[in-house]
Structure 1
Amino acid sequence: MRTLIVDDERLARNELRRLLENFPKIDIVGEAANADEALPLIEDLQPDLLFLDIQMPGKNGFELLQAIEGKAPDVVFTTAYDEYAIKAFEFNALDYLLKPIELNRLTEAIHRVEEELQSHPTEAPRPSSEPGTKILGENDQVFVKDGEKCWFVKLGKVRLFESMGNYVRLYFDDQKPLVLKSLNALEDRLDAATFFRANRKHIINLNWIEKIEPWFSGGLLVTLRGGDKIEISRRQAIRFKDLLSL
């Protein structure tokens, strides 16, 4: 993977370069200290991947992405601040690494990049021109922060969303973090071809359904891989059958 490092701190660039020596597939083709240096390098070198700092003199990392013409590389943000994580997700970043960068987190980020290249070998994500309006599908990744814990998770791994008052609980792997968002607002952002509003409290990932059974009053009971059992209300069962019928 042809890789460009963009960071205004020379020591940070050197440390990241040293850590990346652990990954033979990473080919560092250049470095830049700011957006003005990075833009012509991106055009000339056509990197597959950017390790991009956010706070820099002149244009910040987000403004740099907006200024790229043509196909944009995959992006892993590197920053000392976690306050930009939600905005990073709106720009389709593959990961968000907090400085000082640890080797185990860098390894996770490289694995995500490799998975993305394998699933979309001819595509590269573009920053959204209108953040907040993009419909999110199973291949999109979202940043989730619950207390001191943070995840960057691909939506396809989330099997269930459950309303908990003003919060929504996400179910993926063995994790169940809470995010401050209403289920209705979340439903507006999710791709209806993959994520289905089962009832007032739940949105399910259709790809995780293992079994469907008739239920009371014309409803349905679905069992998800992992054992979660969710009732589809009678009203939503009609939509569900229409959605999945030939």
Structure 2
Amino acid sequence: MNALIIEDEKLVALELMASIAEVDPGIKIIGTVGSVKTALRWFAENAEPDVIFADVQLADGVSFTVFDRFKLSCPIIFTTAYNEYAIQAFKVNGIDYLLKPVDWDELRHAINKARTLTKAQGNVAVDIQKLMLALNVPVKPVFKEHFLGNTRNSWVPVKVAEVSLFTRDQLNFMVTNTGERYILDYDSLDEIETLLNPDQFYRTNRHTIVNLEAVQSVKGMSNLKLIVKLKAPNHLIDIEISRDKAPSFKKWLEK
């Protein structure tokens, strides 16, 4: 069985993955998403899994928003610290409601129930995106609007529009339009890039993603590379773009 995990706490998601592997090694985790917006995008771009393990309270809302948008046929096992959503959970294909920390016996029972239901229904995964395209329903991409930056053991919410660039230097950072620099709790710039609107942000190189609104000027070099100058107070940061990427970057600037 293929499974998707919806959980906004990375450590909790890793613990759940480990528990599932111990209880039922036959389950393959095909993805983990940590917010309502990334979950909406995931279901717009991927086939429905055989089973979903979902937290209720996410950083940007409740997971019921996802299940209201996409009418899924697969069973959903809710894993949450809150017991007040139980009734609502069973209205959206919820087959079990496990309170954190998840008990292995309860998890095993829930998985067995999901397997039984999947076999009985002959559940066929539906590619939501292809279906919507076939019906000429436009699929609107969902992009992140805020990031949480870490500074001095405090979390600071920052609007994406206020970020000049994302950069990697051992850790991942975002630099705001006013020059603040915050650590981001993401594994890679690749992951961050998927959350951003490509019309607004461009991956200039392996280490940097830049905001169009932060670009002050672009200087051409004799080796056909480009040097991007940012607006103050980040004007001392120079971003190099390779000769190979220069044409696509110019096209992006002209959008």
TM norm structure 1: 0.47
Higher RCO (CA-CA < 8 Å; seq separation 6+): 2
Give the TM-score normalised by structure 2: 0.45
